[in-house]
Amino acid sequence: MNTQDQLKKAVGEKAALLVEDGMKVGIGFGSTVYWFVRALGERVKQEGLDIKGIPSSILTGEWAKEFGVPLTDFATTKELDITIDGSDEVDPDFQLIKGGGAALFREKIIAQAAKKLVIIVDDSKMVEHLGAFALPVEILQFAWERTAYEIEKLGCTPVLRLKDGEPLITDNGNYIVDCSFEKIKDPADLDRKLQSIVGVVETGLFIDMADTIIIGGSEGITIKEK
Ligand SMILES: O=C[C@H](O)[C@H](O)[C@H](O)COP(=O)(O)O
Co-location of 105 and 24 in the same domain: yes
Q: Residue with the nearest Cα to atom 10 of ligand 1? A: 30
Question: How many domains does the chain divide into?
Answer: 2
Co-location of 114 and 173 in the same domain: no
Co-location of 15 and 115 in the same domain: yes
Assign residue 190 the CATH number of its domain. 3.30.70.260
Co-location of 26 and 42 in the same domain: yes
**For the packed helices 3-16 and 31-47, what is the interaxial angle rounded to 10 degrees?**
40
226 located within any domain: no
Give yes or no for residue 184 having a pLDDT over 90: yes
Burial string for 57-69 (b: 16+ CB within 10 Å, else e) reads bebbbebbeebeb
Closest approach atom of ligand 1 to CA 100: 8
Co-location of 114 and 8 in the same domain: yes
| pLDDT average, residue stretch 134-147 | 98
**With the C-alpha atoms ordered 46, 5, 176, 116, is the resulting torsion angle positive or negative?**
positive
Co-location of 113 and 149 in the same domain: no
Co-location of 140 and 110 in the same domain: no
| Residues with C-beta less than 6 Å from any ligand 1 atom | 28-32, 85-88, 98-104, 107
Rounding to the nearest 10 degrees, give the CA dihedral for residues 213, 7, 123, 88.
Answer: -70
Considering the entire predicted model, what is its pTM? 0.97
149 located within any domain: yes
Residues spanned by the domain of 156: 135-202
Co-location of 47 and 113 in the same domain: yes
CA–CA distance, 79 with 160 (Å, rounded to integer)? 34
Choose, from 13, 107, 150, 202, the residue flagged as catalytic: 107
193 burial class (0-12, 13-18, 19+ CB within 10 angstroms)?
middle
CA angle 53, 56, 58 (to 5 degrees): 100
| pLDDT average, residue stretch 112-122 | 98
Pocket test for ligand 1, best of 8, 84, 88, 202 (most atoms within 8 A of CB): 88
Closest approach atom of ligand 1 to CA 125: 14
Residues 6+ apart with CB under 8 A from 21: 49, 50, 51
pLDDT at site 103: 98
pLDDT at site 94: 98
Question: pLDDT tens for residues 83-105?
Answer: 999 999 999 999 999 999 999 99
Give yes or no for residue 212 having a pLDDT over 90: yes
Co-location of 105 and 211 in the same domain: yes
Assign residue 14 the CATH number of its domain. 3.40.50.1360
pLDDT at site 49: 97
128 in active site = no
CA–CA distance, 216 with 10 (Å, rounded to integer)? 7
Give yes or no for residue 1 having a pLDDT over 90: no
192 located within any domain: yes
Give the residue among 101, 4, 100 at the shortest CA–CA distance from 60.
101
| pLDDT average, residue stretch 16-32 | 98
Enumerate the known binding-site residues for substrate.
29-32, 85-88, 98-101, 125
pLDDT at site 5: 93
| pLDDT average, residue stretch 40-47 | 98
Enumerate the known binding-site residues.
29-32, 85-88, 98-101, 125
CA–CA distance, 140 with 134 (Å, rounded to integer)? 19
Mean pLDDT of the chain: 97
224 located within any domain: no
**With the C-alpha atoms ordered 163, 169, 171, 175, is the resulting torsion angle positive or negative?**
positive
